[in-house]
Amino acid sequence: MPETAAFDSGRPDSAGFDSAAVTLGDLTFDVRVAGPADGPPIVLLHGFPQTSRCWNAVAAELARDGMRVLLPDQRGYSPGARPREVADYRIDALRADVLGILDAFGVDDAHIVGHDWGASVAWHVAAHHRERVRSLTALSIPHLAAFGRALREDDDQKARSTYFALFREDGTAERVLLAEDARRLRAMFGDTVATDAIDEYIRVLREPGALTAALNWYRAMSRDTEDLPPVKVPTTYIWSTDDAAVGRFAAELCGNFVDSDYVFEVLDGVSHWIPEEASGAVAAAIGARVRRCR
């Protein structure tokens, strides 16, 4: 059973959020919290190679709108939650982390939001634990059955996803990504993410075992990740036309795997880094989804 979330009695962080620690078994997760305690609960799940910081602007806006926002640094990114084995990063463990965090905060069900790998986890939580999910908002990554079909059938998506092969090479990927002051990691963000944010992400990934842990998400991928039933919770999917990682084929297929109220939003001219580049649009979409569920 998870421990109750233990709050840091110190000052709020630089974004004005409170800090908490959640212990699940032998792992301890850093979770930041914003907004009123009685507001609708929202969990924001980050992807690779970011931390919960990518949600700062979105979370601040949601909190101002009266919502209770939980921002965990996920498995491998929280210093106290970095198991060593690839198998520790299978999707069932990642989704169990989310449920454990909800339990620690005494939340029966929440609006689940995810970007990139965080979206993959969010899709799994929604598909397998419908009773814990009031709504789903997924950014960039569509339902994983749609994404898997695109990887098999769409040449454009196959080309976009060739980086998977490098990320799965133990040792080689770490060396390549951190070489030359992490030049390749920095280049992934283009000019759409603030330099100080990129510096913070790379600082975290330089901690002992952190980059290997983050890459283990890719190394633990299996057909279990893709063989996902349709979700049956109200869902918003947000895709951006300049996303280098996800093409239109997969994005437009997503709705075939949602058996509930579904909204597909397209952000023209926005890159993969939607939470930071289009925080206002994202917060508005989440807010609209929450209100549709009341």
List residues with catalytic annotation. Answer: 116, 218, 272
Closest residue by Cα to residue 122 from 90, 144, 150, 152: 144
Q: Which residues of 44-71 are buried (b: 16+ CB within 10 A; e: fewer)?
A: bbbbbbbbbbbbbbbbbbbbebebbbbb
List, in sequence order, every beta strand (DSSP E) within the chain: 6-7, 18-24, 27-34, 41-45, 68-72, 110-115, 133-139, 235-242, 262-271
Q: Are 239 and 255 in contact (CB under 8 A)?
A: no
Q: What is the Cβ-side half-sphere exposure of residue 284, based on CA atoms within 13 angstroms?
A: 7
Q: Is 291 helix (H, G, I), strand (E, B) or coil?
A: helix
SS3 for 173-239, per residue? HHHHHHHHHHHHHHHHCCCCCCHHHHHHHHHHHCCCCHHHHHHHHHHCCCHHHHCCCCECCCEEEEE
